[in-house]
Amino acid sequence: MSATITTTTTTTTYTTSDTFYGGSFKPRSGDGGPDSHDICHGNHAPQGGKESLSDAIDDMPVPSWVKAMAKNILGVEDDSKLPSESSAAKTINNFQKEHDIGLLSVEQMQKMAETGYCTGKDGKTFQVPEEVQLAAQRMMANNGELFKKLESATDGKHDGQLGQGDYGNAIKDGTISKNDGGETRGTGERGLSPADFLNAIMNGNIAATRPSEYGAAKTINDFQKENDIGLLSVENLKMMAETGYCKDKDGNLKQVPEEVQGAAQRMMENGGELFKKLESATNGKHDGLLGQGDFGEALKDGTIGKDSGEETFTFGGPDSTQWGGETGGLPSDSSAAKTINDFQKDKDIGLLSVDNLKMMAETGYCKDKDGNTVQVPEEVQLAAQKMMENNGELFKKLESATDGKHDGKLGQGDYDEALKDGTISKNTGTRSAPAPDEFSPDLPTGAAAAKTIEQFQKDKGIDLLSVENLKMMAETGYCKDKDGNTVQVPEEVQLAAQKMMENNGELFKKLESAVTGKHDGLLSRGDYTAAVEDGTISA
C-alpha cells in the first residue's frame, strides 16, 4: 500500500492504493477554508470518538516533533471541542462586556486560550469560565484567523486589539453569522487512519508548497519597506511567524498579511537559518537585526538566488533535518558542556542564565554581557539544545557544580568542577541520537501532584504560587522563590507542576479556589487542605 499527501496553499489531496479508501480525495469542503482541518473519507464514527486526523496523528508511535511537523504541513488544528466561529465570537463579546474590557489585545487573548486566565482592567488576574477559554482557543486557531476577521470590523484596522463593538459590526457586514450555538464537535467523519498516515511519512510521500528562500526574503523585504521598518529584530520576526502580528516602527501591534506570516515562518525554520544568512549581508554582523538593504546585498553576493518564489518541500522521513533544526543528532553531554563553556569564555559571559540558554537553543541568538543580541555558531545552538533537553537535565547538573546552588545560572567555572567531581566526562566529540520526548517519566496522579506542590510551597515559604510561576516550573524546572530569585525545583516537583498545568491547567484551577472561592491565578498554601476537606481531591 502506498500513500501520498500533497498540500498547497489552497488544496490538500490524499492519495492511497488502499482498497478501503480508494483513489484520491480532498478535505471536507475542499476549498482549504477554515473548516477544512481534517482529511475525511469513509465511514462515520460515533460523536466524540477519537477519529479526527489530529487524534490519528497524536496516536502515532513517532516522536512529537514528527507529529507537530505533520500537523503544520496539513494545517490541522485540534479543534474537535471548540465552539463555532459565531458562538465563540458571541462568547468573547459577552465576556468583554461583563468585565468592561473595552479593548482585548491579541496577547491577552492568547494568554486566555493557553492558561484559562485573563488580566482585568484593574491589573488583577482571574480565571475565565471554560467556555470562554474554549472560545479564546477558537479565536486564536489557524494563526488567529477569527481574531483577525473580527478585530477590524469597526474601523478596518488590524492593530491587535478587539473592541466591544467589533462583534456587532461583524454581524452587520456579514463577516460572521448570528450565533447559532453550533459547535464543531463530532462531525462524525472518519479521519485518515494512523497506519496510512504513518506509511506516508515513512515513505517520504508528504509534499508541501511553501515560499522559497528567495520568495520569503523578498516578501519580508517588501514588508519592511512598505511599513518603513528599518531594522527587523529576530524577536519581532519570531512573533510574526507565531501569531501573525508584529510591532511596527512606533511599537504598535499590527496584523501582517498571511503571505508575510508564511514568509516569516520560512525565515525562522531550522533555527532561523535563512534569517541568519540574510541579516549579515550588508555589514557582516550577526546582531539579530535584519536591515532593509540586506536582501539586495544577499542577491548581489549570491547568498540567495532568484527563483519562482515557491518550492515544493518533501519530508524524507524521521531523519530529515528540514523542520527539526537538528543535523545528525545533538552532541554528547560532555561535548555540549565543553562547547557552552568555551562560548562563555570567548564572550566573557560570567553567568549564563537558563532564560538566555533557552533563547539560544530556540532561535540561535543570545544576549551578550552588554545585553546585545548576538548570533551563536550552529554548534553552540546545538549544544544549547542538548543542555535544555529532558527538562534541562544537563543544565541542572552543571550549574550547581561550583557552589551547589541551583539558581538558574551557569558559571564559567562549573564545567571544570563538573569534570573534577565526575558529573561529566571529558569531551569525546561524539554525538547522540535525538531523544524523543515521549519517553519522559509518567506524571503523578492529581492528588499526589497537589500534595507535592503544597509541600514545596511550605518548604520554600511561598504563600501564593502564581499560574505564571507554576508554568515556568513545569516548562523549565525552575521557579521564582519568595524573594524573586530563580531556583531549581526537584524533578518530582517539576512533574507535579506539569500535572497541575495539563488539560489547560485543570487541576490548578480546581485547587486555587478551594479556600476563598476566587479564581485569581494564585495558589495558596491552604488550598490543598481545603480541597481535601471538601472532597475536590483525595488525600
pTM of the model: 0.38
Judge if 397 and 370 occupy the same domain. yes
- pLDDT confidence band for 343 (50 / 70 / 90): very high
Helix (H, G, I), strand (E, B) or coil at 310: strand
> Is residue 539 assigned to a domain?
no
Q: Which helix (H) or strand (E) holds 126?
A: strand 125-127
State mean pLDDT over 100-104: 91
**Which has the higher per-residue pLDDT, 316 or 56?**
56
State mean pLDDT over 396-416: 84
Judge if 424 and 464 occupy the same domain. no
As beta bridge partners, residue 486 has 480
> What percentage of the chain reaches a pLDDT higher than 90?
18
> Is residue 359 assigned to a domain?
yes
State mean pLDDT over 83-88: 90
The residues near 226 (Cβ < 8 Å, ≥ 6 apart) are none
> Is residue 221 assigned to a domain?
yes
Judge if 347 and 429 occupy the same domain. yes
Please determine, for residue 270, whether its predicted confidence score (pLDDT) is greater than 80: no
The residues near 517 (Cβ < 8 Å, ≥ 6 apart) are none
Q: Which helix (H) or strand (E) holds 531?
A: helix 527-533
pLDDT of residue 21: 31
Judge if 147 and 291 occupy the same domain. no
Which residue, chain included where needed, has cell 519581532? 236
> Is residue 188 assigned to a domain?
yes
What pairing do the DSSP bridges indicate for beta strands 289-291 and 253-255? unpaired
State mean pLDDT over 461-472: 87
pLDDT of residue 70: 65
State mean pLDDT over 33-60: 45
As beta bridge partners, residue 291 has 231
Could you give phi then psi for residue 486, rounded to 5 degrees? -85, 125
Could you give phi then psi for residue 124, rounded to 5 degrees? -90, 140
Please determine, for residue 41, whether its predicted confidence score (pLDDT) is greater than 70: no
DSSP summary character for residue 331: E
Of 82-86, 196-200, 361-365, 414-418, minimum mean pLDDT range: 196-200
> Is residue 179 assigned to a domain?
no
As beta bridge partners, residue 331 has 431
State mean pLDDT over 87-116: 88
> Is residue 482 assigned to a domain?
yes
pLDDT of residue 277: 85
- pLDDT confidence band for 193 (50 / 70 / 90): very low
Of 22-26, 228-232, 240-244, 288-292, minimum mean pLDDT range: 22-26
Of 206-220, 403-417, 455-469, minimum mean pLDDT range: 206-220
Could you give phi then psi for residue 106, rounded to 5 degrees? -65, -35
Judge if 202 and 225 occupy the same domain. no
Please determine, for residue 6, whether its predicted confidence score (pLDDT) is greater than 60: no
> Is residue 356 assigned to a domain?
yes
> Is residue 538 assigned to a domain?
no
Judge if 410 and 290 occupy the same domain. no
Please determine, for residue 466, whether its predicted confidence score (pLDDT) is greater than 70: yes
State mean pLDDT over 42-53: 39
Structural domain harbouring 127? 85-172
Please determine, for residue 342, whether its predicted confidence score (pLDDT) is greater than 70: yes
Angle (CA) 334 406 331, round 5°: 20
Judge if 382 and 434 occupy the same domain. yes
At 108-153, the pLDDT tens digits run 888 888 777 788 888 887 778 889 989 999 998 887 889 888 988 8
Could you give phi then psi for residue 291, rounded to 5 degrees? -85, 160
pLDDT of residue 160: 80
354-386: burial string, b at 16+ Cβ within 10 Å, e else: bbbbbbbbbbbbbbeeeeebebbeeebbbbbbb
Handedness of CA 86, 87, 90, 91 (dihedral sign): negative
Please determine, for residue 303, whether its predicted confidence score (pLDDT) is greater than 50: yes
> What percentage of the chain reaches a pLDDT higher than 70?
72
Angle (CA) 295 210 377, round 5°: 55
pLDDT of residue 209: 58
Judge if 57 and 204 occupy the same domain. yes
Please determine, for residue 255, whether its predicted confidence score (pLDDT) is greater than 80: no
State mean pLDDT over 233-242: 83
Judge if 272 and 336 occupy the same domain. no
The residues near 461 (Cβ < 8 Å, ≥ 6 apart) are 482
Residues 270, 321 contacting (CB under 8 angstroms): yes
Domain ends where: 438, 467, 494? 438
Judge if 117 and 256 occupy the same domain. no
Of 28-37, 288-297, 481-490, minimum mean pLDDT range: 28-37
Euclidean distance between CA atoms 499 and 448, whole angstroms: 10
Residues 102, 126 contacting (CB under 8 angstroms): no
At 418-449, the pLDDT tens digits run 888 888 876 554 444 444 333 345 789 988 99
First to last CA, the chain: 52
Domain count, the chain: 5
pLDDT of residue 59: 64
pLDDT of residue 26: 34
CA-wise closest residue to 81 among 129, 120, 133, 125:
133
- pLDDT confidence band for 230 (50 / 70 / 90): very high
pLDDT of residue 228: 93
Domain ends where: 118, 144, 172? 172
pLDDT of residue 461: 92
Judge if 286 and 335 occupy the same domain. no
pLDDT of residue 408: 82
Residues 278, 304 contacting (CB under 8 angstroms): yes
Euclidean distance between CA atoms 445 and 220, whole angstroms: 47
Judge if 89 and 72 occupy the same domain. no
